[in-house]
Amino acid sequence: MTDDLRPRHLLHAFSTFQLGGPQARFVELANAFGPHFRHTVVAMDNRFDAGERLNASVNWSPMPLKVVKGGALANRSGFRQVLRSLKPDLLMSYNWGAIEWAAANVPRLCPQIHVEDGFGPEEVERQLPRRVWMRRVFLGWTGLPVVVISRQLERIALEEWRLPRRGVHFVANGVSVPAQPMPRARPLAGDVVCIGTVAGLRAEKNIPRLIKAFARLRAVQPARLVIVGGGPLMAELQQLAQALGVQDDVEFTGYLSDPGRRLPEFDIFALSSDTEQLPMALLEAMAVGMPVVATAVGDVPQILADVSPNNTCPPDDEAFARLMLRVVQARADWADWRARGHAVVSSLYAKPAMLAQWQALWAGRSATGMATA
């Protein structure tokens, strides 16, 4: 609360407010803090689907805008007028898709924090020079505080974007962790192993890699695959499963408002992405005590270093297929991986620590040594 007891007004600028990692985290935070903050949400595509997950106690409103596409700074003047009109206590901008809001806030009209969660498939191999320079100018040269959610992004921000050390702050994602690993919901019925994933069906998640690996596994081991999530590649992925002859053993759930409710069905959680940072779905699977098979992207090798370090591989189809088969066949190790995974997430990635840091930042305090004003 501010001194006059009104809730602090936060303006959140997203590229989209369809459900994804940044949007899911915002929903978690807004639901946890309830009426203590007032939120205005803008989205560059004017999509606000994630709002359906906000509790009734959350004071929020979507703000559709006329957005000009194609120009790096085409919307600066219009966005600057929004800032003058709303006079938010804090502007939160998220990722490259909302970088124009950092440009609009120069010279500074209100306190701002920029958040970087990762990048898409176009920057898997290398950072795009134009984006590097714009981040360097609008985040670094202006002294804007930047939150990164992975150690890999922290390195990129410091070494490639050359942002000042004092302005870059690591705040890890956090998830709910039960006191004990989740007991198995069922025995391995007829030796059928259930592989599961939770992901948006987008290119960078490389679900084709998972389906191809599953087809290899299915040829030698009774198994089923559950793919939780929706997205633009749904039809293409269903066609791939049919072409590989495994369509009867692959379930596409589509979008679920509570994807975690399917976790008890999985024996192994699979992450097949080409790029990740600190994936929430992976942490949630480990929190309930699930063995993991994953590509070695972002902070994933670091997360699994004390759990199952050999259960990662380069983002390569052949390597991932071999790894999945090996992990499925290493059933004697599952209990140990379950216990270690639960312990790591409890220690390093539990939700209370994340909530405390973000509440301080939204309130204008310095949970990480960060000055927001």
3-state DSSP of 289-312: CCCEEEECCCCHHHHCCCCCHHHE
Determine the Cα–Cα distance for residues 55 and 88; give it in Å rounded to an integer.
22
Q: What is the pLDDT of residue 373?
A: 43
Give the number of other Cβ atoms within 10 Å of residue 250's Cβ. Answer: 23
Average pLDDT in the chain: 91
Q: What is the pLDDT averaged over residues 347-361?
A: 94
Q: What is the pLDDT averaged over residues 348-366?
A: 91
Determine the Cα–Cα distance for residues 243 and 166; give it in Å rounded to an integer.
52
Of 26-40, 197-211, 253-267, 342-356, least confident by mean pLDDT is 253-267
Contact indicator for 294, 277 with CB cutoff of 8 Å: no
Q: What is the pTM of this model?
A: 0.84
Contact indicator for 106, 77 with CB cutoff of 8 Å: no
- Look up residue 295 and give its two tokens: 């590509």
The residues pairing with 250 across neighbouring beta strands, listed in sequence order, are 225
Greater confidence (342 vs 119) lies with: 342
The residues pairing with 93 across neighbouring beta strands, listed in sequence order, are 13, 114
Determine the Cα–Cα distance for residues 82 and 308; give it in Å rounded to an integer.
49
Q: Can 8-174+351-362 and 189-348 be said to share one CATH topology?
A: yes
What is the helix (H) or strand (E) element at residue 195, kind and residue range?
strand 193-198
- Write out pLDDT tens, residues 187-228: 555 588 999 999 989 999 999 999 999 999 999 999 999 999
The ranges assigned to domains in the chain are 8-174+351-362, 189-348
- Which CATH topology does 8-174+351-362 take? Rossmann fold (3.40.50)
Tell whether the model's pLDDT for residue 287 goes beyond 60: yes
Q: What is the CATH number of domain 189-348?
A: 3.40.50.2000
- Write out pLDDT tens, residues 136-154: 999 999 999 999 999 999 9
| pLDDT-based confidence at residue 6 (cuts at 50, 70, 90) | confident
Q: Is 277 exposed, middle or buried (0-12, 13-18, 19+ CB in 10 A)?
A: buried
Between the CA of residue 33 and those of 27, 28, 128, what are the distances in Å? 10, 9, 37
Write out the E strands in 157-297: 168-170, 193-198, 223-228, 250-254, 268-271, 292-295
Q: How far is C-alpha 201 from the geometric centre of its chain's CA atoms?
A: 13
Tell whether the model's pLDDT for residue 53 goes beyond 80: yes
